[in-house]
Amino acid sequence: MQNKTLRLIIISLFLMSFFIVAICLRVSNQHEYSKQCIFGGYLKQTPKTTDIDIYESSLSRQTISIISKKMSDKNEIFFRPSRLPAINNSFPDINSFSETFENDTVPPSLIDNPENAIINYFSVLQQASNLTENKNGGFGSVGYSKTPYPIAYNFLSQNNKKSMSYDEFLTSFEGIGHINLLKVIPIITNNKNEYKYFIELEILEGSNVGVTTFNYYTGELILTKLKDLYYIDSLFLIPEDFFFAAYHGWAHNAELYVEIIYGNWCGLIMKQYAPEQDEYMKKIIIDGVDNKKYMFEFAKLTNGTDVLINSLVKEDNDWIPVEIDVKKKNT
C-alpha cells in the first residue's frame, strides 16, 4: 500500500513538474516574442484568418463584382511597391537637420500636437542609417548615419525609455538605411485622452548580398501628453505580407470583410453602400437592422490589403466608436 502511495506521489510530482515547465516555457516564449525590438518598437504577430471560398458564400452582386475586378488586376494591386509620397520630409538636408537640433534637444514646436510629433519623429529617422556588415548597402556613409538616433530617442516618453534603453533602441535599427512614413490615421477611441494612431512605414534595408530591399510595416502608435507636449509611448509593428492577401484574402478586402462578418455572420446589415475611398482609406457605411447607421474605416495598404481601423455608429449626427459582438446574431 505504501509503495503504491509512493508511486502515485512520484507520478503526481512528475506531472506537476512537467506542467510547470510547459507553462514557464510558454510564458518565456511570449515574453521573448513581445520584447523583440524592431525600428524603435516591438514586433507584433500578424492576426490569423480563416480562408473561405467567396464564390460559395452568399454575397451581393456588388461585392462579387468589386472583388472580380480587383483580382483581374492582381499584379498591380498586390505585387507593386507604394506609389504614395512620403510625409516625413521635415528635414530634407543635413543643414536644416543640424540647425533644428543644434543642442541635441527636441524643440517643443515639433511635438505640440500628436500628428506633428509622429511626422517629426519619423522625419528625424528618415535618413538615419545603421547598416551593418551582415546587412549593408551603398558605399561609405549613408544618409545622416547614426547622428539622428539620440535625437529620435528623445521623442520617446519616460515610460517608453524605461522599457527600452538607448542601446536597445539603436540596435533595433540595425540594417536600416532609410524610413518613409506613408500613412498616419487616427484610431478613434472612447477615451478623449488617448492618442492612438495607425501608421504605415516603408523601410529600406540592407542585405548580405549587396541588394537593398523595400519592406513595408503597419503599426499601432500611442502617444502620451505631458505639459501640452506629446511623446511616443508605445509602438507595435506588423510586417506586410505580399502573398497572403492575393491568394487567401477575403478578410483583407473591406467589402468582403464587412459583408461576411457583419452581414452573413451576425446579420447586422440591412443595406451595404458602395465604399467611399481615396489613396489612403476606404469607408463603408451600412444601414443596420436595428435602424442605426454604421461606418467601417479601413486603411489601404501597399500590399493590397484593407485593414479595419475604426468601427463607428452614428448617434446625434456624430460618429462614435462602437464594439460589435459578431458572435451575436441580429434579427
- The predicted model gives 180-202 an average pLDDT of 96
What is the tally of helices (H) and strands (E) in the chain? 10, 12
| pLDDT tens-digit map of 79-129 | 888 999 999 999 989 999 999 998 889 999 999 999 999 999 999 999 999
For 56-77, write each residue's pLDDT tens digit: 456 666 666 666 666 666 777 7
Domain 94-239 has CATH 1.10.10.10: no
Q: What is the DSSP letter of 127?
A: T
Question: pTM for the whole thing?
Answer: 0.82
3-class SS shares of the chain: helix, strand, coil, % to 5: 35, 25, 40
Cα–Cα distance for residue pair 251/142, rounded to 1 Å: 39
Q: What angle do CA 103, 105, 110 make, to 5 degrees?
A: 125
Q: Where are the beta strands (DSSP E) in 104-175?
A: none
Q: Are strands 41-43 and 229-239 parallel, antiparallel or unpaired?
A: parallel
Extents of the domains making up the chain: 52-79+248-321, 94-239
**Are 248 and 311 within 8 A, CB to CB?**
no
One DSSP character per residue, 42-63 reads EE-PPPP-----GGGS---HHH
Confirm if 172 and 132 have CB atoms less than 8 A apart: no
User: How far are the Cα atoms of 121, 132, 182 from residue 206, in angstroms, in the given order?
Assistant: 22, 8, 20
Cβ density class 209-243: b for 16+ within 10 Å, e for less: eeebeeebbbbbbbbbbeeebbbbbbbbbbebebe
